[in-house]
Amino acid sequence: MSAILKSKLKVALIQLAGSAPDKNANLTRAATFVAKAMKEQPDTKLVVLPECFNSPYAVDKFREYAEVITPEAPSVKALSEIARQWKIILVGGSIPELEPTSDKLYNTSIIFNEKGELIGTHRKAHLFDVDIPNGITFKESTTLSAGNKNTLIDEPSIGKFGVGICYDLRFPELAMVNARKGAFAMIYPSAFNTVTGPMHWHLLARSRSIDNEIYTLLCSPARNLNSSYHAYGHSLVVNPKGEVIAEAGEGEEIIYAELDPEFIKEVRQAIPVTFQRRFDIYGDVSKFEV
């Protein structure tokens, strides 16, 4: 397993208070924050937005805000222009997607290159259906369908990275598969809440990095106590050693980090789990992907 990161990479995670009822306002706010990030750190090459940043995060709202993913769809067009204008790789958080032939809805991340071209999509594979006593009850499957594929982006200018969405973080297999196929990072636009966030947000991010000796990036919406869903915030970047190297608070904020291919090599040389695995005892999940 070799992580393919071409060179040092500056990343920015945009923790914005989107998810408001006005989709156009959400898209404009995202554009404003990306512009701010690029002016503060003009050498940034990879930018990440939060889960469901362009619509309310509510099961009864997904269909109302859903878009068919075409070049003229409002969110696709807006994010494409942002990526093209600033010449960045843009992981466009996630948006509600309508698949017109089946009429199914998905929670989908759309990823663009520096030319504004759509280079990948990830439909949330694991739906957030939970019932925590005295905590939170939420059931995405009421309106959403689950994606059916792993997502590994191979972008020549920077290398390979995997994409998951929020609850996908709890299932280590996606990160395992992507790391073993050369991903230098897993990127998860996410919206953990004020119940699950304090429990597992940092622990899961650090675990995915330690398991695979890669970088892990979680990008959350800012917390808005006036909305129906209270995001945890705390967008963060974890290095291959399991250390948090950048972290936001609860409000609107941009955090920056530099990902270093040499550090990945150093960690893997020091603790060489990448070639000590015993596939004669247990299977290699990256070999069994459908």
Per-residue pLDDT reduced to its tens digit, 53-73: 999 888 889 999 999 999 999
Residue 237 reports pLDDT greater than 60: yes
Residue 230 reports pLDDT greater than 90: no
CA 72/CA 234 separation, integer angstroms: 33
Q: Which residue of the set 23, 45, 67, 124 is catalytic? A: 124
How many CA atoms does the CB half-sphere of 167 hold within 13 Å?
A: 17
Q: What dihedral do alpha carbons 238, 239, 243, 248 form, nearest 10°? A: -30
Q: What percent of the chain lies above the pLDDT cut of 70?
A: 98
Q: Which residue of the set 51, 67, 247, 250 is catalytic? A: 51
Helix, strand, or coil (residue 78) = helix
CA 260/CA 262 separation, integer angstroms: 5
pLDDT at residue 289, as a whole number: 60
Q: Which residue has the tokens 């199914």?
A: 104
Q: Which residue of the set 45, 140, 155, 166 is catalytic? A: 166
Residue 290 reports pLDDT greater than 60: no
241 catalytic per annotation: no
CA 99/CA 52 separation, integer angstroms: 17
Residue 249 reports pLDDT greater than 90: yes
Residue 129: partners with Cβ closer than 8 Å, 6 or more residues away:
138, 139, 140, 141
**Predicted confidence band of residue 92 (pLDDT cuts 50, 70, 90):** very high
Identify the bridge partners of residue 73 per DSSP, sorted by sequence position: none
CATH fourth-level superfamily of 9-270: Carbon-nitrogen hydrolase (3.60.110.10)
Question: Cα 237 from chain centroid?
Answer: 11
Q: Which stretch of 61-65, 81-85, 194-198, 225-229 has the lowest confidence by average pLDDT? A: 225-229
**Spatial CA neighbour of 175 closest among 163, 190, 166:** 163
Identify the bridge partners of residue 238 per DSSP, sorted by sequence position: 216, 244
Q: Which pair of tokens denotes residue 120?
A: 């990948």
Q: Which pair of tokens denotes residue 11?
A: 């990343």
Q: What average pLDDT does this structure show over 44-48? A: 98
Residue 216 reports pLDDT greater than 80: yes
pLDDT at residue 128, as a whole number: 81
**How do beta strands 236-238 and 129-131 pair?**
unpaired
Identify the bridge partners of residue 233 per DSSP, sorted by sequence position: none
pLDDT at residue 55, as a whole number: 92
219 catalytic per annotation: no
Q: What average pLDDT does this structure show over 162-188? A: 97
